[in-house]
Structure 1
């Protein structure tokens, strides 16, 4: 029996259906591959781990993204430089830059106003005129 929706509850199923994004498709080793948009990775904690660009975290994220084809993916050669290029392109497809955590696409601008300066800047001295005291010289004692 399906649950009946309540008028005042948030329907995450409906909201998520509206947010679905296109998967990232690429060709490697002569084979077409597909991974979901990073925002659709099942375990969001993996995305946070991979944000550090840690190689094992990225490998785990790619295996997760491969889903049913993960074993097939593990059998192909995966040179580190190529996999970093792949990860960078996957990030770009997902609207992110390396080192940027997943966040809301529609975040608003900061509402903070700039702080007022705490002091004024000057290039002059507070003295009315240069000092007239004789200049001191370092003593040079010989031993």
Structure 2
């Protein structure tokens, strides 16, 4: 049984019209001497895939790119896909779509906390229980460059 379209109520938000009115430019890029085009991330139909890919799940990133490439995916599969280059591509695709890494499409607003502040379980102090300062050498972090 398929759902029949209904006439919208007067005060009903028309998400279909609002989404259709948004201008989302595709993201063209060049790789291995060839031109490619993927849609704006807002035009990928499964936002959960974007969220998984944004957490740097490599399999999800590959799946998202395959979905985005559509009929170009098989040709793209025939060229080298070095991980650092694909991560850079993903970062640029996010930026083109108005997102930063770690900021997958989700709600824009965060709800406020409903919890009351917890009571401290102990007093805080920075004083040492010993009467004289330590004679041990201060530890420093290694600053080797690789």
User: What TM-score do you get using the length of structure 1 for normalisation?
Assistant: 0.67
User: What does residue 15 of structure 2 align with?
Assistant: 12
User: What does residue 83 of structure 2 align with?
Assistant: 80
Whether 1:44 and 2:47 are equivalent positions in the alignment is yes
Q: What secondary structure, in the 3-state scheme, does the structure 1 residue paired with 2:80 have?
A: coil
User: What does residue 103 of structure 1 align with?
Assistant: 106
* RMSD of aligned alpha carbons: 3.1
Residues 59-89 of structure 1: per-residue CA shift (max 9 Å, x gap): 0010011112111111111111111111111
- How far apart are 1:15 and its partner, in Å? 0.6
Q: Gaps (5+ residues) in structure 1? A: 119-143
Give the Cα separation in 1 of the matches to 2:23 and 2:16.
Answer: 11
User: What does residue 66 of structure 1 align with?
Assistant: 69
Superposed, which structure 2 residues align to 1:16-31 within 5 Å?
A: 16-31=19-34
Give the structure with higher Rg (CA): 1
- How far apart are 1:5 and its partner, in Å? 4.7
- How far apart are 1:92 and its partner, in Å? 1.1
Give the Cα separation in 1 of the matches to 2:28 and 2:77.
Answer: 17
- How far apart are 1:24 and its partner, in Å? 0.9
Q: Gaps (5+ residues) in structure 2? A: 121-146
Deviant stretches of 4+, over 4 Å: 1-6, 107-112
